[in-house]
Amino acid sequence: MESKILKPVLAIYIGLFILFLYGPFFVLGILSFQQGPEGGPQFPIIEWSTYWYKHLFGMTPPSRIAPLPVGEALVRSLILAFMTMVTATVLGVMAAQAFRRRFTGAGIVFYLIVLGMMVPGVLTGLGTSLLANNVVGIERHWWSTAFVAHVVYTFPFAFLVMLAILNRFDGSVEEASWSLGVSPIRTFRKVTFPLIFPGVLSAMLFAFTLSFDEFPRTLFASGRDQTLPLAIYGTFSVEIHPNIFAFGVMTTLFSFALLAVYGILMGLSVRRAKKMAMQEDIA
């Protein structure tokens, strides 16, 4: 009786979840093929066209609609996301390594680290801006103040991912290496890091995607040079054209490409781990 009621309810819930998750993307994808330059963000489609994709790359005749100012903003966002990814992942691995052993004040330090992902982004961005201008006396830039705000936000995610990985880590392999006289640094490079590499990849992906899409913290902390989310917001806050939808599709495909690279690297890592396990069994 319960299953007869529960299954339809779950089916409706899953259907609504998928609709709200992928529905906006499909709507934007359809509107990105609107006719141009007269076509706007409305249904039904006047005529299917790739005009707005050509408009993104400057392949259309001049019109009243200016190209999206995303060229330099996209480069800034990619560089900022890469810097944040490397820094947050290194800090996350080091902090998670430290928490493998109990130390005084570990609980307080843990909550202080996690607090970075819980504080509202607007407050973090505004506080970073005021701190830079009024206390430290430096000018705000996307590569300095915004970078710090992004690291404060993404570092807890990288830390939690690595903490979960290292909590399942078998420390006996490290002890065996140390007992053979291998230094701790060489043990980490040759033994520990290859085993936790899938977790490192996950932490890197988390940090990159979170930083690349970050808006509230960047709004106050980036200074006069805009990153990609700020450039897009500045464009569609004035007038919406389907070129913004075409650009959204392109960035979504870029995110899928990142996931594909992540999947390939993860597959290679798992294959390497299985190969090492087989060699140990044979030995």
**Among the listed ranges 160-164, 205-209, 242-246, which one has the minimum average pLDDT value?**
242-246
Domain that holds residue 211: 70-238
CATH number, domain with residue 230: 1.10.3720.10
Write down the pLDDT at residue 198: 84
Number of domains present in the structure of the chain? 2
* CB-neighbour burial class of residue 172 (10 A; exposed 0-12, middle 13-18, buried 19+): exposed
> What is the maximum alpha-carbon separation in the chain?
74
Do both 115 and 180 map to the same domain? yes
**Do residues 52 and 80 both lie within one domain?**
no
Check whether residue 30 and residue 126 sit in a common domain. no
> Residues 219, 82: one domain?
yes
State the Cα–Cα distance between residues 111 and 89, nearest whole angstrom. 18
One domain for residues 84 and 209:
yes
Same domain? 162 vs 113: yes
Asked if residue 276 belongs to a domain, the reply is no
249 in any annotated domain: no
Residue 279 inside a domain? The answer is no
| 157-182 tens-digit pLDDT | 999 999 988 887 777 888 888 888 88
In a domain? residue 211 = yes
Q: Are residues 50 and 159 in the same domain?
A: no
Most confident of 120-129, 239-248, 268-277: 120-129
Q: Mean pLDDT, the chain, as a whole number?
A: 85
Q: Place 282 in a pLDDT band, splitting at 50, 70 and 90.
A: low
Q: Does 225 share its domain with 125?
A: yes
Q: Is the pLDDT of residue 283 over 70?
A: no
108 in the same domain as 186:
yes
- Rounded Cα gap, residues 4 and 81, in angstroms: 48
Dihedral, CA of residue 193, residue 199, residue 205 and residue 206, to nearest 10:
-130
> Is 37 a member of any domain?
yes
With CA atoms as reference, report the closest residue to 146 among 200, 214, 85.
Answer: 214
DSSP helix/strand/coil, 221: helix
**pLDDT above 80: residue 39:** no
281 pLDDT band, cuts 50/70/90, is low
- In terms of domains, do 46 and 81 share one? no
- Does residue 126 fall inside a structural domain? yes
Is residue 98 domain-shared with residue 224, that is, in the same domain? yes
Is residue 245 domain-resident?
Answer: no
- The verdict on 25 and 103 lying in the same domain is no
Closest CA to 230 of 88, 118, 86, 68: 68
